Structure 1
């Protein structure tokens, strides 16, 4: 069996990684997401955008994978499962830290950086940020450009390689598990539609109803850490009830 897990912010929120709108520290609450997650926002206020992502970079390092992340990684060791591919909209590294070996980041990573001018990768030291700050000076590339997080912002295309690898994995999958995602952000939201069109079983795990819920093969109204550890054992009986 070939399994693909499409994960969103919900699974990381269970580890203590807040979504933008759930970030209650107060410093960022007054900003629209577009101001901190767009090419225009970067051009207008690079110090503000850099501070936001540098804070989240360090925040993620201080939290741990949860039972949902760990369960997906453990599936790779089960006899009869040919491969487990994670396609994630998250920019953290919790799937990798849990032990998943095939993870495709559709929206980039908080742990990769590049120059906004020459596009070269940056591997220099990052300043510590123990508490959130409103502004911080981005490092400078040798070409004179500014170092930015390698994150897909509003107005940018998804990276081609992870996207194509994700499409290929879904096309080969016997089971697609959609966990912790709102199902409204395209093109990622099109992957379950693709799977359903080709007859693949699609299981949604989300405490809340989403646009995918009515068309999914099975919708499980639980959190990732509650549902995933028991899902494969319960799946045959659950599907019989559909």
Structure 2
């Protein structure tokens, strides 16, 4: 069974109603990204950061996987599918995908501010005063700007065994995630689904300039 590796970004979940990471002026839901997605921002104004993610979490619980998520899950009948996502939602899992690696964390989990490996499921709001079992404030289980990406080595290992690489809904501008494509074997076929693709992607990549749902329909006819 061929190994199909999928890299997904914000465009994958946009059609489910999850807003993309940030708009053209660099703001995220009206906030400077560093205010709500960095350790410095959290130290400066933890209530703002917690409220920001509380709103994102509530939104996530109100939406459903789209046809693109479901199409990827269906591919598990004919391929060994590994999904590496930059998204912090659980829509891949809810659609039925069974092998999902979240590079940037998961919105429906929390972790201790004292021990980053103390991670646990969390679907409610996080408030100041919510503590881990050892008495430390908890925070969203999100990889913020300025923090290491703990799963990047595992993601590299996955890419190194790809027969087919599919990139969906990402600008290929956020590193280290954007570098993963370089670790796939030269023999791997590469497809890129995005209505606004990154420039200069290379002649070896087959571009499908569509949003995720219609792009996945075209992809399944090609592979």
Work out which of the residue numbers 200, 206, 227 in structure 1 matches 2:194.
Answer: 206
Partner of 1:133: none
Q: Are positions 1:148 and 2:148 aligned together?
A: no
| Structure with higher strand content | 2
In structure 1, stretches of 5+ residues that fail to align are 129-135, 236-242
Normalising by structure 1, what TM-score?
Answer: 0.83
Larger-gyration structure (1/2): 1
SS at match of 1:189: helix
- Residues 109 and 123 in structure 2, CA contact (< 8 A), matched pair in contact too: no
Cα shift at 1:215: 4.5
Cα shift at 1:20: 3.9
- Residues 108 and 121 in structure 2, CA contact (< 8 A), matched pair in contact too: no
Partner of 1:131: none
Q: Are positions 1:234 and 2:222 aligned together?
A: yes
Matches within 5 A, 1:14-53: 14-22=15-23, 28-29=29-30, 31-53=31-53
- Residues 8 and 84 in structure 2, CA contact (< 8 A), matched pair in contact too: yes
Number of residue pairs the alignment of both structures matches: 218
Cα shift at 1:143: 3.8
- Residues 205 and 223 in structure 1, CA contact (< 8 A), matched pair in contact too: yes
Work out which of the residue numbers 184, 190, 203 in structure 1 matches 2:179.
Answer: 190
Cα shift at 1:232: 2.7
SS at match of 2:187: coil
Distance 1:112 1:61 in 2: 13
Cα shift at 1:202: 1.1
Q: Are positions 1:93 and 2:90 aligned together?
A: yes
Q: 1:163 to 1:212 in 2, by over 3 A?
A: farther
Partner of 2:109: 112
Normalising by structure 2, what TM-score?
Answer: 0.89
Cα shift at 1:28: 4.1
- Residues 204 and 216 in structure 1, CA contact (< 8 A), matched pair in contact too: no
In structure 2, stretches of 5+ residues that fail to align are none
Following TM superposition, the consecutive aligned residue runs of length 4 or more in structure 1 with deviations greater than 6 angstroms are none
